[in-house]
Structure 1
Amino acid sequence: MSFISVFDVLGPNMIGPSSSHTAGAAVIAYLAHKMIAPPLKKVDFTLYGSFAKTYHGHGTDRALLGGIMGFSTDDTRIRNSFSIATERGLSYSFTPCETETDVHPNTVDIRMENAAGQVMTIRGESLGGGKCRIARINGVEVDFTGEYSTVIVVQQDKPGVVAHITKVLSDKGVNIAFMRLFRESKGNTAYTIVESDGHFPEGIEEPLKNNPNVHDVMIIEP
């Protein structure tokens, strides 16, 4: 029998009522907002499974909106996330989708657009106990939780890029816990996701970007 922590049952410190439908949703959106340069101008949430059925009653909408504005799971501003978003000039929408059923029951697609016109889409799954998984970035299947310090390198799938990434991290003394490569198809856009036990050194983005096949670098600290 697998071990179940009391925190898997009760969930983290949070604005309730549900660790799956509020805390997990807030974490997904919080991670998403770390992947795009601020300020956000517009965000659209598409909800699936039980998220689509109960998002308003369980406060999933408020939690998602709070997370996308950078609020942690226990931030009391989540209760007022609608009015705060309006004050900040952030346009938002929630669209339940009950036709696509071959997804995790607590799934959300987040489409973000910032003031510079950059658009990014994220798919996240709330796993229970306030935990989540990022399952897609811009349509590419990925897999990370945000529980570790994470660097995401957006790159062209070319020889030598992964070696460049590992050399930079080694030179900076980063201890790699997990490292995985996800790609659209051979030679196209790929995402190298590196998770570390410790925080990444300040300014590590610049040496990572110092390769013609690296398009962007995102740092997500828990």
Structure 2
Amino acid sequence: MKYKSVFDIIGPVMIGPSSSHTAGAARIGRVARSLFGREPKWAKIFLYESFAKTYRGHGTDVAIVGGLLDFDTDDERIIEALNIAKERNMNIEFIEEAANVDHPNTARILMGDEDGELELVGISIGGGKIEITELNGFELKLSGHHPAILVVHDDRYGAIAAVSNILSKHEINIGHMEVSRKEKGKMALMTIEVDQNIDPSIIDEISQLPNITKVARVVD
């Protein structure tokens, strides 16, 4: 079930004309920014189907960039997001893709700086709700509406249990968890949505575990 209340259908408090094309787009951008952990120096934003056809008129372009600047859906600065990005020397490129995808409101964001890159695929499913479906080649399902951590790790026995034990020790309840891997015994990705924001000290503790490569968090 995608919607839990009438407010999910009406949509969020937002800047812009469309909960799907503006609020949802901003949330996709903001989750990408959160996972990257800092403001990117550049971003290539690939838009598909409905997003590609209407992104200028519906404000999808300014919304995604606003998200990359860490603006929430009701932040009035979103209106000037493209100008603000230019002032901050963030190089933005929009690419209209002709390929068919599973959902018409799909965006793929490739972004980075001198220290690294991140690639993310997100869809806006209506009412400002989103799903992140791919991260750096890993398939996942992340709503972006709950605090979460993403743990890149070696596909080894005990890695999942070790992370779960730390969350349990700190009385953090797991709402949703899944694991994705590209190949058995290689790299894997844990996606864990929780009921409360996780303190950075806990992220550091998880990072010190054996077989853990990287830990990123999405705050509420």
- Band the TM-score falls in, shorter-chain normalisation: over 0.9
**Deviations, residues 167-197 of structure 1 (Å, cap 9, x unaligned):** 1111111111121111112122211111111
Q: What is the root-mean-square deviation of aligned Cα atoms in Å? A: 1.7
How far is 1:144 from its partner? 1.1
Matched with 1:106 is 105
Instruction: Compute the TM-score of the two structures, normalised by the length of structure 2.
Output: 0.95
Moved over 6 A (4+): none
Is 1:172 paired with 2:170?
A: yes
- Distance in 2, Cα, partners of 1:13 & 1:58: 16
Normalised by the length of structure 1, the TM-score is 0.94
- What's the CA shift string for 1:86-114, capped at 9, x where partnerless? 1111011100112x113211000000102
One-letter identity of the residue aligned with 1:109: R
CA distance in 2, matches of 1:137, 1:4: 26
Residue aligned with 1:163, SS: helix
| Superimposed CA distance per residue, residues 180-220 of structure 1 (whole angstroms, 9 cap, x where no aligned partner) | 11111212221111111122234111110112311111111
Amino acid at match of 1:125: I
- Aligned amino acid, residue 107 of structure 1: T
Aligned to 2:151: 153
Instruction: Give the equivalent residue in structure 2 for 1:83.
Output: 83
Q: Is the 8 A contact 1:44 1:92 kept in 2?
A: yes
Which consecutive unaligned segments of at least 5 residues does structure 1 have?
none
Which of 138, 141, 146 pairs up with 1:143? Answer: 141
Identity of aligned residues (%): 39
- In the TM superposition, 1:195-210 aligns within 5 A as 195-210=193-208
Is there any run of 5+ residues in structure 2 with no aligned partner, and where?
none
Which residue in the other structure is 1:52 paired with? 52
Query: For 1:14-93, what aligned pairs fall within 5 Å after superposition?
Result: 14-93=14-93
2:39/2:69 contact within 8 Å kept? no
Distance in 2, matches of 1:136 and 1:32, equals 11
Amino acid in structure 1 at the alignment position of 2:198: F
- For 1:17 and 1:39, how far apart are their aligned partners in 2? 26
Question: Would the alpha carbon gap of residues 69 and 115 (structure 1) be closer, same or farther in structure 2, given more than 3 Å must change?
Answer: farther
**Residue type of the alignment partner of 1:205:** I
Aligned partner letter, 1:6 = V
